[in-house]
Structure formats: structure tokens, C-alpha cells
Structure 1
Amino acid sequence: MNHNTPLTPAASRPARRLPGGQRRVLSTAQLRSLGVSPGEMNEQCRSGGPWQQFLPGVYLLHQGPPTSEERLHAVLLYAAREVAAPAVPAQPEPGQPHRPVYREAMITGLAALTLHGFASAPALPSLDRVDVLVPRLRRLRSTGCAHVLRAAALPTPEEATGVPVAPVPRALADAVSQLTDGGTVRRLLSEAVRAGHCEPAAIIRELDQARLLGRPHVVDAVDALLAEGRAIAEDRLYAMVREFGLPDPVWNVDLRLPGGPHLGGLDAYWPQQAVAVELDTRAPRQEEDALWSEYVRKREHLERLGITVVYVTPRKLREGMEQQAAVVRTALMASGDRDPAAYVVVLPR
């Protein structure tokens, strides 16, 4: 038999045993579980045959380029330690899709951001390679469109369009590690916060762990991110007061003792009740530094003067606005049971 000899019915038998529809990309192990021998796999992939080997140990059961979905599954099949389960159960349980379970592998980087719905991330067909995250000790090389990235500890994957993807902060860090254009980095970080995917603190934590905060274009993007994150948090604070019927405070003020020192700035202050709200927008790496010490000193000083300070994080405002409103309302109601606060001068900030 030469390469131009048509396939015999015996050589084409595997194609009739295999799934159609969505599962048109399978690994060597899956094909073997279906009774396809290595010789039959090679025969199907010969010139003029119906299949192609797309990545090592991964086959497309058709000729021509893969779809974006097939490429994602092919990369995961190449990188993952797949849970032992047949590709096509003989008797699938009712309501259970024939969906592979990928172990120790997930899509990350720009491809993951696209799957998370980022408008500023490129379309999947335009990506020359797909980043896949695996444990650091895995012996696996990048090949073809599969670009292997490693982590000492894998994050818990999320699911998007039926494939496991890294959470947004990790996917951002993996994408940023390969980007040199500051504008692209700023757009991605900004969309992550503006679209509600995550808070600035989570992004900065991942960038810090990836040792990316020393790159000038990343530092500039992070500065812009923190400014935008604070603006979004302030808008949510305004919405909390409005939507939950809290009394109107004075916004963005500085407090001073009469003829005395500056006491600090506050995002919201109720003078009659001597209750203040301050947004805690510190970056994660600042939790134990001088800025946190300053937060503590200011709070202790104000409370000695009889002023109750409520610290609110952007995440709490996003995920539990009603609960934060209840905390502030309780502090306002409790003001009548406290001794009067010291007189302070309230100035616009």
C-alpha cells in the first residue's frame, strides 16, 4: 500500500466507532479506550486520511484547521492529567454531558481573559498560541500552539464555555508577564476592575507574586488601576447611601481640631452622629507597612475623640453592600448612647 492507496473498509473502521458532534478532538488514551490501536491511529493520519495529529498525543478527527473550541480542548488534552473516564460512556447517565475532566491543567493568559469575556482581549482565532497552566514539576514542553506556563500551586479553576480557566487575577498576571505594551496592560487591568471581574487588590497580589511590579510599564498601569479602583469604590459608596436610605453625610472631608493639628481625611462623615466611613484601598503589599500604621494611628486618635470610624473595602462594597449599609446604620443609631464627641472642624478635602 502506498500513500495514494484509498483506505480500506478495515482501515476506516475506527471512524465509525468514534463520537461525532462536539468530541472531534481526542487523546491517544481516549482512542485506546475506544479500542483504536496505535496502528489504526497512524493509518487514519496518513496522507489523504480523515484525521490529523494536531499535538503530541492529540488527534483531530477531521482534516483542515481546528475550531477555536477544538484548539482549546487539544491544548488541555496535551497538558492535562485527565481523570480516567471513557471519552464516550457506553451508558451515559441522564443529563450528564460527555465533557472531559482535565486534571492539573487550565487555560490562562490572554485566551482565558477572552473566555472570561474581556472585550480588550484578542479573539481566540487571532492567538498564535494558547497559554496553559500546569504544576511546576510537570515535565511538559511548549509545542505547536500549546504554550506551557507553570505554577508552584495551581489556583482553583473556573469554567468558561466548558473548559477550565484560571481565575481573572492569575490569567491577568500570566498575560501581563508576556506583554510589553503599556497601553494594552492598562486596558486589561482597567477592564478587570470596571467590569466587576475582581478588585485591584487581587490583581496587584498576583502581579506581586509574579514579580512583575518592577517593570515600569506595569507600575504605570497599576497606578492607573488604583486610581480607577478608588473612583469605582467611591461611586459604590455613594450608591450605598442612596439605595439603602442612609442620611446624607458630608463627602470627602478633612477633620481638624480647632486651632490644632490635622486629624486626617475621610470619605464620608456624619457630624451630628460623629460617624465616619473610610475606604480601605491599600494594595496587598502595603498591609504591614507604614501606610497601615498610619491608618491605625488615625483611627485610634479619632476614636479617642469620640468619633466612630467604619473601614470599608471595595470588595465588601461590591459583594455585600447591604451588609455594609447595616454596619453604618448601626453605628449611626448607636451614637445616641455614646458620650458627645469632641468638637472638630470639618473642611472640604
Structure 2
Amino acid sequence: MNHNTPLSPLPLQHLADVQLRVMSTAQLGAHGISSADAGAHCRPGGPWQQLLPGVCLLHPGPPTSEERLHGALLYAGRPPARVARAVPAQPGAGEPHAAYADAMITGLAALALHRFASAPPLLSLDRIDVLVPRTRRLRSVGFTRLVRGHGMPTPQQITGVPVAPVPRAIADAVAQLTEAGAVRRLLTEAVRGGHCEPAAIVRELNRARLLTRPHVVDAVDSLLAEGRVIAEDRLYRMVAEYGLPDPLWNVDLRLPGGPHLGGVDAYWPDQAVAVELDTRAPRQGFRQDDDALWSEYARKREHLERLGITVVHITPKKLRDSLEQQATIVRTALMASTDRDPAAYVVVLPR
């Protein structure tokens, strides 16, 4: 077939009602349209165009952001042997697409789908990052940039598109960013917006080996401080909303004339109950610091409990996900104080 050969009639009428006007050549083949015929329709001036290798856009105009997303997934996620047998129906909202197996949107495009205000709009992105297994034999092409990973997270379905969870999407986005302010804005929005906890972000940054970059480390320091403030606010809200007695906030404990016992975030002296926010988890990227901090936590808790003080450890994630349950745990510890031997007298100082 040459450019002067008229296009052969194709059984395309049933495709006119397809909501998403982008399909792989394998899917077109399932409709009885050969690769040669599809290629003829994608010639300059034809009714279709080749969006990416093996992916056709079934109209001549520019692709929408949705069509770019699905086109990138069709290119990156299509295992040839399986897609040839896949039913070429278009995915509905929240439904996975068979041809997207082992591929998901990540990076800035994923954060845009997660509705991050600090992520650029989809149509403004020159590249759409697609996370694929490391063994996938494909290369980045056109507007599709492949991100290869050893471990593949479970994707979230957003309007029919498989999307990497926020912590993984952030790590893949940060890998491409060199401006400290942009990195800090993404990390801050993830925590302030309630998308995830600092611990999850730092774990992914560590796996991606990004914690050696100075601008990333600076952003992580800001993130940890931000996460601490948010967790403290939730702790205050827990006490107020669930009718717990007011504690002494942010105090240091020490024995009279003796050694410093450590600081706690809340302390009920009459019941000898202390609450400590466990901020150790976010520092998992810094292995040595994390181990030292955990040893300090363990020593302090053991020492306080030997003195008859009950220490309740609460993580920021638990405060976010199960505030009422954490309030019940603290209330139970306060009520159980009447059944315990009196605690040693300690001096309480502001911190």
C-alpha cells in the first residue's frame, strides 16, 4: 500500500460511540482492523493519528489530557500476548483496564490526578511518568517517560486510570525536580492535605535514594516539622472533643534533685499517665539516627514505667485515622490508675 492507495472500507461505525478515542493496535485488531489499515488511517491528513508507537488516536485533533494518560498507559502497560486477547472495552470510572497491567501513572501527573494544587495541570506537562516493572523492555518515547521500579505498589483507580499512591508519586516527582521550593511545596501539601503521613513519604524518598540531595534533605526537615505541628494539633483536638481531662502540655519530667527523665507531650500528674507522640517513624530514611532515637524512646519509657508512670505512645498516623480509638486508649489508662500502686513523685517542668 502506498500513499495514493485509497483507504479500504473498515468496520468503524461501532467505534464512533467509543467514549475514549484512543486505542492500541492490538485492541483495533480485536475489532478486525489490521495494523496496516490502522497505519493507513494514521497517515498525514488521515482521520486518525499515531499518538505513540502501537497507539492510535481516533481523531485528527490534539489529544485531551485524558487521552494522553490512557495513551501512555496503553503504550507502557501492554503485554503483547495478553492484550491481543483482551476485550477492548473502554474502562469506566474506578475500573482497571486489562491492557494497563503492571503500569500506572506516577510523578507530577499522578499528583495532579490526586488533586494537588502544587502540581501543574495535566495538559501543561511535557512528560507523563508511567511506573512499570524494571523488567519491562520498553523505552521512553514522545510524551511518555517510563519510571522503572523493583517493587510495584498497589495503584489507586482515579476516573478509570491506575495511579500510584501519593508517597510513591511524590518520590518519582521529586526525582525529576531540582528546585527546593517546588519539592517543599509538594511535601507540605501531602501532609497538610491529609494525603499521607511524613513517614510514608520519607520511606519512598529513601528507597529512591533521594535523601543524599541537599535540597531534598532540607525539604524533608521542613516536612518533619510540619508533621509534628499537625500531630500536636490533632492531640489537642482529641483531648477537647472526647472530654478527656486537661493535661499539662509539653513538659519535662525529672526526679527531685535527680536526673532528667525526658520530655512528654501530655502529662496527667494525678493519674501518672503520659502521652508521647512517636516521631521516630518519619526518620526511617536516616537509619543510624532512627536506631539511636528508638533506643532513647525505649530507655525513657522503661525508666518512667519503673517509676509507676504509664506511657502511651501514639503515632501521627493513628491520630489521623483513628482519633476516637486513641482517645479511648488514653481514657482507659487514666481510669486504670486507681488500680495501680502510687507512682513515684516527679518534678514537672515546662519544656
Q: Same fold (TM over 0.5)?
A: yes
* Structure 1 CA distance for aligned equivalents of residues 96 and 317 of structure 2: 34
Cα distance change, pair 160–88 in 1 and its aligned pair in 2 (3 A) = closer
Corresponding position of 2:151:
153
**Residues 241 and 286 of structure 1: CA distance in aligned 2, closer, same or farther (over 3 Å):** farther
Q: How far apart, in 2, do the equivalents of 1:286 and 1:240 lie?
A: 30
Match status 1:323 vs 2:320: no
> Could you say what the CA RMSD is over the residues aligned between the two structures, in angstroms?
2.0
Supply the AA of the counterpart residue of 1:263: L
Give the whole-Å Cα distance in 2 for the aligned partners of 1:112 and 1:347. 47
What is residue 25 of structure 2 aligned with on the other side? Answer: 28
CA distances 1:78-130 after superposition (whole Å, capped 9, x unpaired): 001366422139xx9xx999973320100000000000110000000100010
Aligned to 1:72: 69
**8 Å contact kept, 1:76–1:132:** yes
- Indicate whether 1:294 and 2:291 are aligned: no
1:284 match: 284
> What residue is the counterpart of 1:246 in the other structure?
244
* Aligned residue in 2 for 1:236: 234
Please, which of 132, 135, 139 is the counterpart of residue 134 of structure 1?
132
User: Paired residue for 1:53?
Assistant: 50
Structure-2 separation of matches of 1:304 and 1:263: 12
Q: What is the Cα deviation at residue 13 of structure 1?
A: 2.5
User: 1:40 offset after TM fit, Å?
Assistant: 1.3
Does the 8 A contact of 1:87 with 1:98 survive in 2? Answer: no
* 3-state SS in 1 of match to 2:264: strand
| Alpha carbons 2:93, 2:158 under 8 Å: kept | no
Q: Which amino acid aligns with 1:87?
A: P
State TM-score, norm by structure 1: 0.93
Name the TM-score, length of structure 2 as normaliser: 0.93
The 2-side partners of 1:63 and 1:47 are apart by: 9
Question: In structure 2, how many angstroms separate the alpha carbons of the residues matched to 1:88 and 1:190?
Answer: 39
Matches within 5 A, 1:173-322: 173-282=171-280, 283-285=283-285, 289-322=291-324
Range with bigger deviation, 253-262 or 12-21: 12-21
Q: Is the 8 A contact 1:14 1:40 kept in 2?
A: no
- C-alpha distance in structure 1 between counterparts of 2:268 and 2:141, whole Å: 61
Partner-residue secondary structure (3-state), 1:289: helix
What stretches of structure 1 of length at least 5 have no aligned partner? none
Q: Is the 8 A contact 1:88 1:98 kept in 2?
A: no
Identity of aligned residues (%): 71
Is the CA contact (8 Å cut-off) linking 2:211 and 2:285 kept in structure 1? no
* Deviation of 1:254 (Å): 0.5
Instruction: Find the counterpart in structure 2 of residue 13 from structure 1.
Output: 10
